[in-house]
Structure 1
Amino acid sequence: MKFSNKVDEYRVKRRKKMKLPGTKRRRLILKQERVMQMNASEASEGSIYQSEIGLSTEADIEQIPDPIPKSNFGAVQKLKNMEAKYIIFDLETTGLIRQGAMPHITQIGAVAIESGNVFSTYVLPKIPIEPGAEETTGIVCDGTSVFAHGSKVTAVPIREAILNFLKWLGTFGKYGIILVAHNGRVFDFRVLSHAIDCIGLQEDFLEIVSGFTDSLSLIRSKHKKLEKYSQIFLAKHFCNETFSAHDAVEDVKMLSKSFSVVVSQSELSKAAYDAETPFLQDKFNSAKTLYLPSLNILVGNGVMKMNMAENVAGSGLGLHHLKLIHKRSGEDGLRNIFCAQTSRSKPRVTSDCKVLDYVVPKLCQVFFHDRNVVFYYLEVTLYKLVQCNDVS
C-alpha cells in the first residue's frame, strides 16, 4: 500500500514537472536537435538506405566524412574523483615540426615527480636526423645504429619504445596520470600523440594517461616578468644549477627540481587539459591541410572568411562535399551539416546564426549554377575586370 502511494506521488510530481515552461522549452530544444541531426545524416549519407539501391546504376551512395571535433583544451574530467600522478617527460627528435610534418622521436626521457623514478630509451628513427638536431642533441643515426655524443647506444623501433613507455607509466596506476613537458603544447605533446596514433596505440595510451600540462605556459602565467623561460635559464634562476641540456633524461630531472621550487601539484592539475586533445588537434590539422586548398576560391571571392574555411576543412569537408550536400538537401542540408554535433557535443563548424545567414546563402548561389564553381568564379572575375576597364 505504501509503495503504491509513493508511485502515485512520483507520477503527480512528474506531471507537474512536465508542465513547467523550462521543461517544455527543453523538450522543444531536444526535438529540434534530433530533427537537425536526422537531416544532417540524410545529407551525409545520400540514398544509401533507399530500397533497391543496389539495382540502380546512378545511385548517390557517397558518404560525407564523419565530423572531426576541434580540440578545445578543456579541463580533465577524469581527475575529479582521483589523485593524479605527475610525470615529466621530454623528447629529442630528428628536427622540428615543419609545415605540419612531424619529426621522428630519437629519445624519450621521463621522471615521476613524487618518487623520482626515471624512464629512458633511445629510438631508431626512420628518417634522417637534421644536422641542426644532431648538433643540438648529440644524437646521430647511420640508418641501423644510434650514437649519443659519440658512443653507440641501444635503440629500439618506435613501437617498442612507446610500448615500454606505456608499461612504465602503467606502474603508477590508470586514468590518473598527467604528463608534463616544457613547451609541450606546441611540440612534445603533438609529436608524441602523432607517433602513438601512427602505430595504433591511441586507446592504450588514453587508458593510462588522463591529461597534459605545459610547464612553459604555467610558469609564464605565474612569473610574467622573467627575462627568459628556457629550461637552462629556469634552472639557473630558481635552483642556481647548470645541467646538460637537450638530453631528455637530464632535461626532465632538472625540470623536476625547478618545479619543486616554482609550482605546486594543485597548479599542475588546474593547468592540465584532456589527453585526447593533441590527437584531435592532429586529425583536425591533417584534414585542414587536405581540404583547405579546395576552399580557397570561396575565400578569395568573399563567400566565407579564412577562419570559417579553416573550420570547414578541419571538420573534414572540402568543396566537393559542400556541393554534394547542396545537391542532396539544398540550403537546409548545408545548415544542418554545419550545425551537426560532434562526439564532443560541439557544432561541426558553427551554430552562429549570423555566420550561417551570411555564408550559406552565398554557397547556394554558387552551387545553383550547373557549371563548375571554378569556371563560374572565373566568369565573375572577368566580368569585374571588363567593368573596371569600361570605367577607366
Structure 2
Amino acid sequence: MSKDHAPAPDTRLTPLAARLPATVPFVGPETQERQTGTPFKARLGANESGFGPSPDAIRAMRNAAKDCWMYGDPESHDLRAALAAKFDIGMEEIVVGPGIDGLLETLVRLTVTEGTPVVTSAGAYPTFNYHVTGYGGTLHTVNYTADHEDPDHLIAKAREVGARLIFIANPDNPMGTCHTAATIQHMIQTVPEGCLLVLDEAYIDLAGDGFAPPINTHDKRVIRLRTFSKAYGMAGARVGYAIGHAALISAFDRVRNHFGMSRIAQIGALAALEDTDWLAKVRAQVEQAREDLYEIAEDNGLLAIPSATNFVTIDCGADGVFAKAVLDALRDEGVFVRMPMVAPLDRCIRVTCAPPREMKLLARALPKALAAAREQVGETPS
C-alpha cells in the first residue's frame, strides 16, 4: 500500500500503543501449516512435551469438564496450597497465573513504565522483551558467553543503567545451557539496590540436581517463575506460578486478571503435581531423547550443545543464513523446529525432545535438509 493510501492512525490508541509494531514473538506451527496447507509430521519446535501429561491429570480434567460453566477459583487456593506445601513456603508467597508468559506480563505491568531500564541477554526468551516494550520500558542487552547467559555481565549492565528488572532463564532458552545453583545464588546476592532479578525456571524440573538454589522467600531481590508446560506436559492448559517475597506476590492482586485461570486447568495441574511417578517417567524419557538428539547430530557431523532442558540446540556449523536454510528444509520435510534469532546463537537450530517416532522422523529428514541447505547457500559446515 502506498503512503497516499495508508490508513490514518487510530487516535483512540495510547501514544505508546500507536507506535508499537503489531508483532507475535513466536510464529506458531499452526500458522505455518495454514500457510503451506500441510500438517507437520513432527512437532519439535515449541518445547512442548510429546510425552503428554499425567494420566491422572487427564482424568481429573475430563471429570472437571462438566463444571466448566463455573469460573475458576480466583485465588487458585487448592493449587497454591499444594505448591506451598511442596516448597515449604507460605501460600502468600506464591501466585498462580496463565503460564509464565502471563505472569511476566503482570510483573512488567507492576514495575515498568515508559523509559524504565530493564536488562536481559541478546537472544534470550523474547516474550519478556515483548512485554517490556509493550509497557514502554527500555531494554539493555548483554551478549551470551560461550552459549550461556552471563550473570556477571547482566549484573554489571544493571548497575550501569540503573535497571529495575534483570531477566535470566536457568536453564536457558534457546541454548539449553545451565548455571549451577551456586552461580545463580551469587547472582541473587549481587543484585543492585532497587532492582529485581526475574529468574525464569521453566525447565528446572528437567535439569537434575544442583542447578536451583534453595528457595528463600525472605529475599526481596528475586522472583522465581515456574510452569506446568514443560516437564508436566500441560502447555495447552496455561498454568504457571511465581514464588517470591510476600509483599511482591501480594502486589499481583492489584492488577492481575483474577479470573484468568481455567477451572479445568487448575484441577489438572493439581493432579499433575501429585503424580510424582509420572514426572519421574517423563524425566527419564527426556533424558533418552536428549541422547537420541546428540547421536543424530553426531551422525550428521554437527555439534549438539549439552542440554539441561527438554530440547537440544544443534550447531549447524556455519552462520544464521545456513541454519535458517536447514530450518526451512526441515519444514519442507514436515518437521517443525525453531532457531535462535540473534547472532552468533542463530548458527543453531533448536529441537524439542520427543518420543521415538518423532526422533526417527528427524533422523531421516535432517540429512536431506542439510543437503538442501548446502545446495541453496553453498555452505559446508566444518
Asked if TM exceeds 0.5, the reply is no
Higher relative contact order (CA 8 A, sep 6+): 2
TM-score by length of 2: 0.25
